[in-house]
Amino acid sequence: MAVEHHDLIHEFPNLRDTIHELKTTSRHFRRLFDEYHVLTTTIEKIENEVVLATTTSENAKKRHRLHLKDELHALLTANKPITLTKQSPAETHIQTLVDRAELLERRLVKIKLDAATAHSSNATEQAQERENDEVIDEIGNATREELDLIYKALERNKQGKYGTCQHCDASISDNRLEALPEAEFCISCAA
Ligand SMILES: [Zn+2]
């Protein structure tokens, strides 16, 4: 069976240049792009039967991918001018966190809407729906956990403690914050 390719460039061929540009200029976009890529790879493995999954779980993953695609498309077509004023690395990280929090909050609303859809009276369908709800719960819980870490980091920023290890008080390296702007601990304490 032929498997359709759903990588982002295939999905939005006319936005190819913008995709490349945002991948290098926006950490926020880059993260979403990676998330989409991982999910697409998983779905392709399921379609190729390299990985086994039930139809409901496959469908829930596909629906989540659709949401991710909407989020990416919104960023790609936002025409947000790239900030020319030089931001400090910390300012850039904070901006990434603020953007990411906004997106995750919107995602949670969608997940709640998904979970609230009317349930069937058919027993077989009910079993499938329960499984579907579990997948939705999993995505919802991961989203809430990430938001929690982001809000803690933003709170530390307000107190002038952003980028300081919560365990040993050392500064967290910029490379680490670049990869994980919500990091609570320096690399030694996190290890
Ligand atoms: Zn530390």
pLDDT digits (tens, 9 = 90+) for 46-60: 999 888 888 888 888
- Taking the centre of ligand 1 as the mean of its atom positions, its distance from the CA of residue 176, in whole angstroms, is 12
- Taking the centre of ligand 1 as the mean of its atom positions, its distance from the CA of residue 133, in whole angstroms, is 38
Q: What is the mean pLDDT of residues 76-95?
A: 78
What are 128-176's pLDDT values in tens digits? 777 777 777 888 899 999 999 999 999 999 999 999 999 999 999 999 9
- Taking the centre of ligand 1 as the mean of its atom positions, its distance from the CA of residue 76, in whole angstroms, is 37
Going from the C-alpha of 151 to that of each of 99, 116, 144, 185, 191, the distances in angstroms are: 12, 26, 10, 15, 23
Q: What is the pTM of this model?
A: 0.74
- Taking the centre of ligand 1 as the mean of its atom positions, its distance from the CA of residue 191, in whole angstroms, is 9
**Residue among 162, 11, 183 nearest 91 (CA):** 162
Residues 173 and 186: beta-carbon distance below 8 Å? yes
- Taking the centre of ligand 1 as the mean of its atom positions, its distance from the CA of residue 146, in whole angstroms, is 20
Going from the C-alpha of 23 to that of each of 85, 115, 169, 184, the distances in angstroms are: 19, 32, 32, 25
